[in-house]
Amino acid sequence: MSKIQSPFPREWSMDDLLRHLGVPTSRIRLDPLPGTAVEADVLRIHEEEGRLCELIDGVLVEKTMGYHESKLAGWLAYLLHDYLQTNDLGTVTVPDGTMRLAPGQVRIPDVAFVSHQREAACPDVASPIPELAPDLAIEVVSEGNTPGEIERKIKEYFFAETALVWVVDPRTFTVDVYTAPDQMVTLDETKDLTGDPVLPGLRLPVARVFEKTLRPAKPKRSRRKKKS
């Protein structure tokens, strides 16, 4: 029986692998062996366990998203759907929309917009994992995400010809808008988020994006008793 070969250098340690992937150990699946996983494993784990995994260089990485991040992603999807009601430009996917950005690279954007033109040009659009990149990819930052992971995702999206990436951070109530891997502007709640050039005419106040997001409770002031 031939031995399965890992695509990674033999001298690599787990630390090397983690730096390469940009994710913590807790999210890496060990079965199949890192470096040997395929798209069928992504589908199998989702069917058997209900877990979402992305495929990165033959490694299955569990997708992380908490309750509040999921709620924010759903709200963003609603806002995009609302715009598309009068601008029939494409469709919106939510946090289980798997896409093959490149051979062996399967990503699952938290929210994504795919234009009708791009979808029509996809030969396997009806398959569970189509060879498709979104026009707009939205990543909602969760506690389990790392800066390295987000940076790598952004580069992969643009390499696959995504035109716009929003990184939405519910901890800071900001949105990082990328028009290229090295071109980014951070918008706070005093600014407006636009969909140009992907969704012309779309304008969302950042404050509206976060209006349903749980905010940290303000500390209560202690009342000192007056001395008699």
Q: What is the pLDDT of residues 165-223, one digit of tens each?
A: 999 999 999 999 999 999 999 999 999 999 999 999 999 999 999 998 877 766 666 55
> Which pTM value belongs to this model?
0.89
108 token code pair: 């699952």
Q: Does domain 67-209 have CATH number 1.20.140.10?
A: no
**Predicted confidence (pLDDT) at residue 15 exceeds the cutoff of 50:** yes
Give Cβ neighbours of residue 89 (< 8 Å, ≥ 6 apart).
Answer: 113, 115, 116, 199
What is the location of CATH 3.90.1570.10 in the chain? Answer: 67-209
54-77 average pLDDT score: 92
CB 187, CB 193: distance < 8 Å: yes
**Predicted confidence (pLDDT) at residue 135 exceeds the cutoff of 90:** yes
Tens digit of each residue's pLDDT (9 = 90 or more) over 66-85:
888 999 999 999 999 999 99
Mean pLDDT of the chain: 90
